[in-house]
């Protein structure tokens, strides 16, 4: 839930929780509920915490499997994604796979694992390099060796099958494509909270194509603006 950060809106939440208990017969797990503040004066924070039986939460946190933070995520915050890919590769190394099997496993399984993250975040170049290194080593692995000798440049491997490649996605390009999807959401004024916020606080009565970037805007939106050309 989002509030204005004052006691009046907190009372609305308390009444909503009370009605939820009455109507559903369910009891919210208060011990698991945390409250997070952003740009709220310290006096208001203390008054809210005294009014609510919730714990004070601290960023970054994990929500729906991905980290959330008020600031731009650091490279270390993407470690769970890299670890998940490593574990999946490790699980399959003990199973004999032909070269064609490893190629299909990368396309169907490993490269799909990043999609959810890339829809939410703009992956740093360091993380993209680490992931593609894992794929490359797994593709050319010999037996139980962690890596084998690369026979074809990765740029060639990532070409389409019609162009004599393997059909792998190049994450640097994929990242730009997914960012442009967010641009389309803004231009088509898709009805969601983030798009509405962008229009209200950033674009206002101007044009997405001509507004000037401001340092106070989120780094993701500023990254989107760099793709306007």
Could you tell me the pLDDT band of residue 208, with boundaries at 50, 70 and 90? very high
Could you tell me the pLDDT band of residue 146, with boundaries at 50, 70 and 90? low
d(CA 80, CA 225): 29
Which of 36, 35, 18 is CA-nearest to residue 27?
18
Question: In the prediction, which pLDDT does 130 show?
Answer: 93
Name 142's bridge partners.
none
DSSP H or E stretch at residue 127: helix 125-139
- What integer is the mean pLDDT of 67-80? 81
d(CA 21, CA 158): 54
Residue 138 tokens read as 């797994």
Lowest mean pLDDT among 74-78, 138-142, 205-209: 138-142
- What integer is the mean pLDDT of 29-44? 81
pLDDT at 184 over 90: yes
d(CA 194, CA 185): 10
pLDDT at 175 over 90: no
Could you tell me the pLDDT band of residue 17, with boundaries at 50, 70 and 90? confident
Listed by start position, the domains of the chain span 7-58, 75-118+125-169, 174-225
Name 83's bridge partners.
none
User: Residue 165: helix, strand or coil by DSSP?
Assistant: coil
Counting residues of the chain whose pLDDT is more than 90, the rounded percentage is 15
- What integer is the mean pLDDT of 201-213? 91
Question: In the prediction, which pLDDT does 211 show?
Answer: 92
pTM above 0.95, yes or no: no
Name 63's bridge partners.
66
DSSP H or E stretch at residue 66: strand 66-68
Mean pLDDT for the chain?
A: 84
Paired sense of beta strands 34-35 and 55-56, if any: parallel
Question: In the prediction, which pLDDT does 143 show?
Answer: 60
Q: Is 65 left (phi over 0), alpha (psi -120 to 50) or beta?
A: left
DSSP 31: G
Question: In the prediction, which pLDDT does 83 show?
Answer: 92
Query: String of b and e for 30-41 (b: at least 16 CB within 10 Å)?
Result: eeeeebeeeeee
Could you tell me the pLDDT band of residue 129, with boundaries at 50, 70 and 90? very high
Could you tell me the pLDDT band of residue 148, with boundaries at 50, 70 and 90? low
Question: In the prediction, which pLDDT does 112 show?
Answer: 86
Which of 151, 154, 131 is CA-nearest to residue 141?
151
Please report how the helices 125-139 and 171-187 are oriented relative to each other, as an axis angle in degrees rounded to 10.
130
DSSP H or E stretch at residue 121: none
d(CA 5, CA 36): 10
Question: What are the φ/ψ torsions at residue 56 (nearest 5 degrees)?
Answer: -80, 120
The 3-state DSSP composition of the chain as helix, strand, coil percent (nearest 5) reads 55, 5, 40
């Amino acid at each position: 839930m989002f509030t204005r950060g004052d006691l009046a809106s907190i009372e609305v939440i308390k009444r909503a929780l009370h009605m939820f208990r009455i109507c559903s017969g369910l009891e919210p797990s208060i011990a698991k509920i945390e409250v997070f503040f952003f740009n709220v004066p310290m006096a208001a924070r203390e008054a809210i915490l005294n009014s609510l039986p919730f714990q004070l939460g601290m960023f970054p946190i994990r929500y729906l499997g991905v980290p959330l933070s008020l600031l731009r995520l650091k490279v270390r915050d993407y470690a769970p994604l890299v670890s998940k890919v490593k574990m999946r590769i490790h699980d399959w190394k003990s199973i004999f796979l032909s070269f064609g099997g490893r190629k299909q496993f990368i396309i169907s399984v490993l490269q799909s694992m990043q999609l959810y993250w890339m829809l939410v975040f703009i992956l740093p170049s360091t993380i993209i390099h680490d992931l593609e290194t894992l794929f490359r080593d797994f593709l050319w692995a010999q037996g139980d060796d962690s890596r084998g000798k690369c026979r074809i440049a990765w740029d060639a491997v990532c070409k389409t099958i019609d162009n004599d490649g393997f059909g792998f996605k190049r994450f640097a390009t994929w990242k730009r494509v997914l960012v442009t999807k967010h641009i389309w959401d803004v231009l088509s004024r898709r009805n969601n909270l983030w798009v509405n916020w962008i229009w209200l606080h950033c674009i206002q009565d101007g044009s997405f194509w001509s507004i000037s970037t401001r340092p106070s805007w989120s780094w993701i939106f500023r990254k989107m603006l760099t793709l306007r050309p």
